[in-house]
Structure formats: C-alpha cells, structure tokens
C-alpha cells in the first residue's frame, strides 16, 4: 500500500502519522510546497494550481490514494484534484471537524486562520452542521506559520492570544488548520479553565486516515510490520523531512521508520 499526502507545509504530518499508526506497513509519500508558501494569501486559482503541481509530483510514485492534508487546499482545489486523479487514486479532503464537535453539544470554538475565519466556507459548515449550537470563530494570526517553523516563542504567543479570544464556556475546540494538530496538547492546556475539565479538541487526522482506508477497501492493521517507507518531495524535488518537522512527535514517528534509498536524503 502506498499513500500520498499533500500540503503547503508540515501540516500534513498529523495525517501522515495517523496513517502510519493505522498501517505501519504503508509506504508514505509526503509532497509539500516550501517554494510557494504561504498559500493563504494566494488567489484560489493559484492555490489550486500549486496543489495540483505537488499532487502531480506525488502521483508520479503511483500511490493508491491521495490525501489533501490541508484545509485551504481542500477548499480551493479538491474538485480539480478529484477530476485529475480519480478514479485511479481516491482523493480524500480535509474539512474542519465542526459536525462531531457540534454533536457533543456546545458551546464550540473554531480555531482557524484569519483567512478562513468568517469565510463563506466556514460559515457554511457552521450553518450546515452546528445551526443549533453556539459557535465562536477564533482567528489565530501567525499560529500556522509559527508551527511551520517550530518557533516555540511565537507558538506560545499565538496560542495565548487565541486562548484569550476563546469563550470561557467552550466545551469543544475545533482545530480548523492541520498545523494546529501538531500542538494539540499546548492548545488544550491554554484553553482549560481552572476547576473545569479541558474542552474536547476535534482534529481531522484520525478521521481522514480512516476514511482513506475505507476508500481503498483496506482495514486498520496497527500490528502490521513497521516496514512502510517514507518519500519526501519539496516543490517537486527530492528532499528530507525538514528540521522543523522533528520538533513534533508526528515528525519523529515518521523519521523512525525505514526510508527509500535515493528518495530521502538526511541533510
């Protein structure tokens, strides 16, 4: 089994690690776009073009499925990616987990990038899945960029600022950017109110990995031999996991497995 994941940066680590935990025998292809980052300020057409380009680089390795491990790319490029790669390889997008968060009752806080906060896309998801639940949209300026560079001081500042904007009575927090899942415990600690249980955090990595397996007719097999390889592509070039990735548990988990000779070069 070979699974490709695409994202502008290291936000794909969370979904990749989730796939690795479910299927240690799966070969992973991680294709990102450091030359084009950040994607947020780009036009929708430009984002779609860049997403297709890095997906093409991953598709050259003939994966069984393609995970779009990025909320922005899913919003702007998912139809184009499916038209290009299906039915040869199912394409699985990433949507903020508003539906399961709202199912647990409110109030709910949705942490998202400033570009996503207040967008018709996010408002549409809230209307569709959480129309009877109190929802607060919480912009997190600078947080995804701080996570991308593993800048701990910047992460602390951005998380603290977002926590200040999060209602005290929030029972659930939706992590509306895949980068945020890499610092989930930091966020959990920041939003916890004294004397109250911590809000439930809702990411997407586990659900996306499980959906990918369903789409290709496979089952979880966490007991499988840990023989899955790792291939890393940066803007179409062979590369290694960036140093920032190793600041996170997910990146270290991926590095711990075998690598494909000639495709991953440690710098």
Tell me the mean pLDDT in the region 171-192: 97
Please tell me the distance from the alpha carbon of residue 115 to that of residue 130, in angstroms, as a whole number.
Answer: 20
Please tell me the distance from the alpha carbon of residue 178 to that of residue 77, in angstroms, as a whole number.
Answer: 16
Across the strands, what pairs with 2?
A: 27
* DSSP string for 73-128: HHHHHHHHHHHHHTTTS-EE-----HHHHHHT-S-EEEEE-TTTTT-HHHHHHHHH
pLDDT at residue 267 greater than cutoff 80: no
Q: What is the pLDDT of residues 55-100, one digit of tens each?
A: 999 999 999 999 999 998 998 999 999 999 999 999 999 999 999 9
**The whole model's pTM is what?**
0.92
Catalytic residue among 177, 182, 205, 232: 177
Other residues' Cβ atoms within 10 Å of the Cβ of residue 237: 10
Degrees, nearest 5: CA angle 249-251-253: 70
**Closest by CA position to 3, among listed 53, 65, 60:** 65
Looking only at the bridges linking them, the beta strands covering 172-175 and 200-202 are parallel
Lowest-confidence segment of 122-126, 152-156, 210-214, 259-263 by average pLDDT: 259-263
Our answer to whether residue 177 is catalytic in this structure is yes
Angle between helices 249-256 and 13-22 (to 10 degrees): 50
pLDDT at residue 106, as a whole number: 83
Catalytic residue among 8, 51, 66, 70: 70
Our answer to whether residue 140 is catalytic in this structure is no
Q: Which residues does 86 contact at the CB level (< 8 Å), separation at least 6?
A: none
pLDDT at residue 263, as a whole number: 41
């Amino acid at each position: 089994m070979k699974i490709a994941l695409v994202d502008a940066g290291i936000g794909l680590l969370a979904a990749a690690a989730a796939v690795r935990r479910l299927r240690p025998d799966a070969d992973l292809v991680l294709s990102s776009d450091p030359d084009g980052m950040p994607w947020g300020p780009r036009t929708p057409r430009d984002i779609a073009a860049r997403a297709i380009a890095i997906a093409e680089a991953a598709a050259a390795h003939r994966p069984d499925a393609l995970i779009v491990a990025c909320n922005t790319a899913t919003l702007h490029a998912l139809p184009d990616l499916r038209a290009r790669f299906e039915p040869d390889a199912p394409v699985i997008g990433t949507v903020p987990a508003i539906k399961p968060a709202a199912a647990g009752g409110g109030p709910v806080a949705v942490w998202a990038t400033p570009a996503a906060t207040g967008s018709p896309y996010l408002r549409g998801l809230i209307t569709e899945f959480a129309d009877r639940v109190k929802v607060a949209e919480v912009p997190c300026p600078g947080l995804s960029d701080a996570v991308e560079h593993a800048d701990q001081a910047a992460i602390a500042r951005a998380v603290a600022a977002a926590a200040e904007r999060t209602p005290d009575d929030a029972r659930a927090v939706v992590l509306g950017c895949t980068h945020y899942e890499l610092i989930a415990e930091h966020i959990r600690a920041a939003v916890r109110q004294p004397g109250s249980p911590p809000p439930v955090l809702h990411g997407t990595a586990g659900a996306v990995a499980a959906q990918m397996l369903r789409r290709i007719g496979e089952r979880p097999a966490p007991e499988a031999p840990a023989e899955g390889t790792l291939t890393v592509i940066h803007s179409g070039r062979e590369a290694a996991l960036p140093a920032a990735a190793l600041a996170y548990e997910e990146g270290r988990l991926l590095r711990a497995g075998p690598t494909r000779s000639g495709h991953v070069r440690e710098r």
